[in-house]
Amino acid sequence: MNTGLFLTALLSYFVIVDPLGVSIIFVALTEGKDGAYCRRMGIRSVLLSLLIILCFGFFGAKLLDTLGVAIESFRIAGGLLLFYTAFNMITKQEPFRMERDQDAPDDISVYPLSFPLLAGPGSLTLTVLLYAGAEGRVEDVAALIAAVFTVLLLTLFSFMSARKISRFLGETGNNIAKRLLGVLLASLSIQFIADGVMGFIAS
C-alpha cells in the first residue's frame, strides 16, 4: 500500500468530512432521541456514505469521459469548489446547522447526514481527483480505500461519542478547529488547481 498517498488522502478526507464538526451537528439532529435511534442513524449514514464514495471513485472518471469532460477541467473546477468550501469554513460565523421540527423526517441517515455532510460535493470531488491520480494502480487504490474506511470509522466513533465531544469542545473550540481545518483544505484546493493548469500546459 502507498503510505504517502494514504496519509494525503486521510488528511484530505478528514478535513472535508470533519468528524468532530459533524458530531456536533449529529447531536442537534438527534436531540430527544434514544441511544438505539442514534446508533442506527449513525451506522446507516456511514455505510451509505461509504457506498456512495467508493462508487464515485470507481465510476466517476468514466462518467466524466462519457460527458466529454477532461480530468484537468475537473481538477480545476474541483479545486475551486473545495476552495469555496474552505473559505466558508474559515470566514462563516456559524457552522452548518439544521434545526429539527415536528415535521422533520425520522430517518436522517440519507439527508442530511450522508448528503451533504459526509458524502457531499467536496468529498465526491476529492474522490474523483484522487482516484484519477491513482490510475488504477492496486497499491494506490488500496491506500485510497483504506483512507476512506479510516475517516468514516472515525466519523462513526464521533457519532457514538457525539454528546461527550460536544460538551468537551464547546462552541469556541469547534470554531477554532473548523478554521484551522479550513486553512489546510484551502492549501489542498490550490494544489488541485495548479495540477489542472499544469496538465493543460503539458497537453
Q: What are the pLDDT digits (tens) for 78-109? A: 788 778 877 877 887 554 444 444 445 588 89
Q: How far apart are the first and last CA of the chain?
A: 30
Domain 3-202, what architecture?
Up-down Bundle (1.20)
174 confidence band (pLDDT: 50, 70, 90): low
Pick the range with the lowest mean pLDDT from 116-130, 131-145, 164-178: 164-178
Rounded to an integer, what distance in angstroms lies between the CA atom of residue 58 and that of residue 55?
A: 5
Provide the pLDDT for residue 170. Answer: 73
* Residue (of 118, 80, 128, 126) closest to 96 by Cα position: 118
Nearest to 100 by CA among 113, 114, 89, 87: 113
- Say whether pLDDT at 160 is over 50: yes
On whether the pTM is more than 0.85, the answer is no
Res. 142: pLDDT tops 90: yes
Q: Could you give the 3-state DSSP secondary structure of residue 137? A: coil
pLDDT value at residue 87: 84
* Interval 9-59: pLDDT, tens: 999 999 889 898 788 778 878 878 888 999 999 999 999 999 999 998 999
- The whole-chain average pLDDT of the chain stands at 84
* Model pLDDT, residue 101: 47
Instruction: Find out whether 196 and 72 touch, Cβ atoms under 8 Å.
Output: yes
Residue 147 pLDDT greater than 80, yes or no: yes
Rounded mean pLDDT, 6-11: 95
